[in-house]
Amino acid sequence: MAANLERYIFMAKNVNILKGTCSSVLGKRVCQQCLLLRHQSTKIDRNHFLEKGYPLLVIPALSFGLGVWQIQRRQWKLDLIKCLKEKTNLPPIPLPDCLEELDNLEYRRVSVKGIFDHNREVYIGPRSLVDDDDKKGGGLMSDSKGHGFHVVTPFVLRDKPLTILVNRGWVPKAKKDPKTRSWSQVDGEVEIVGIVRKTEVRQPFQPKDIKTDERSFLRRDVEELATKLNTSNVFLDADKYTTLKEGPIGGQTRVTLRNEHLSYIITWFTLSAATSFLWYRRYYRPSSMDSMPDYLRRARAKKP
């Protein structure tokens, strides 16, 4: 009975010390013993938190969150690609009088009437051919269909005091020179339907200078092409119905966006699962198998 009473008094005293209300408190100052015990208690709790490896759980939690975020990003990208494809199938509209409206009309079909100025045509390439059976690819020279160039020609509008740029389509490298395809240089007024395009994003390691010679360019830079040819900053990809028998082949619009979110999803969730398993085996349920140093140490101790 006396032993239990002494234990109770000891525990009560320790609680008061940790709270800073022991009998040795003078005014509002805490005695050195109280400060020492409270410091040791905080240190023990901190060491316990670190020894259990709880800070390491940040890695699986963060990677799991990134995996969920990539799922949302993938769905957003798929919806965007679907929306762009639907735009290219909408009925054509007249070219707006206010060219600033074109900023919100990329991939929309517009109809225009006018005359081609073949004397100022330029070329973008090399590019691979895009047809109905192959709506993917990045314009690489390794394409099985070979490589060629897009023929970009200034187009003088009939009903507006404007000259715009029209990508008439793809021609093989052997037909790049207009002298080899004089039959493709359409004369007179024509009506075409084209898809509104903006400046092409420069790929990594691609040179900043897009010109390869006086009439050839590496990529579609609407502003630079317009400055070079003295036209408005309007660029249309002519649709497939403008295709001529021997070229250019129209309909060279690729509605593709880089979408590697599935691989990112697999990477982040795999990292989360792997680090969670490693934490579980290390801190929550350690392996029952002895390490080789411990086994050898006990084997030596058993020897007479």
Query: Using an 8 Å Cβ cutoff, are 266 and 148 in contact?
Result: no
| Residues constituting the chain | 304
Q: Digits of tens for pLDDT over the chain (304 positions)?
A: 444 444 444 444 454 444 445 544 444 444 555 545 455 455 445 555 566 778 888 999 999 999 999 999 999 988 888 888 888 888 999 999 888 888 889 899 999 999 999 999 999 988 988 876 554 443 333 344 568 999 999 999 998 899 999 999 999 999 998 888 888 888 899 999 999 999 988 777 777 767 778 889 998 999 999 999 999 999 999 998 888 877 799 989 887 777 888 899 999 999 999 999 888 888 776 555 555 566 566 666 766 5
Q: Is 203 exposed, middle or buried (0-12, 13-18, 19+ CB in 10 A)?
A: exposed
Which residues 6+ apart lie within 8 Å of 276 measured at CB?
57, 60
The span from the CA of 74 to the CA of 58, in Å, is 24
The span from the CA of 230 to the CA of 215, in Å, is 14
Query: Using an 8 Å Cβ cutoff, are 195 and 236 in contact?
Result: yes
Measuring CA to CA, how many Å separate 273 from each of 67, 226, 268, 286?
11, 53, 9, 17
pTM over 0.75: no
Secondary structure, 3-state, 162-218: CEEEEEEEEEEHHHCCHHHHHHHCCCCCEEEEEEEECCCCCCCCCCCCCECCCCEEC
Q: Is 64 exposed, middle or buried (0-12, 13-18, 19+ CB in 10 A)?
A: middle
Q: What is the mean pLDDT of the chain?
A: 78
Residue 85 half-sphere exposure, CB side, CA atoms within 13 Å?
10
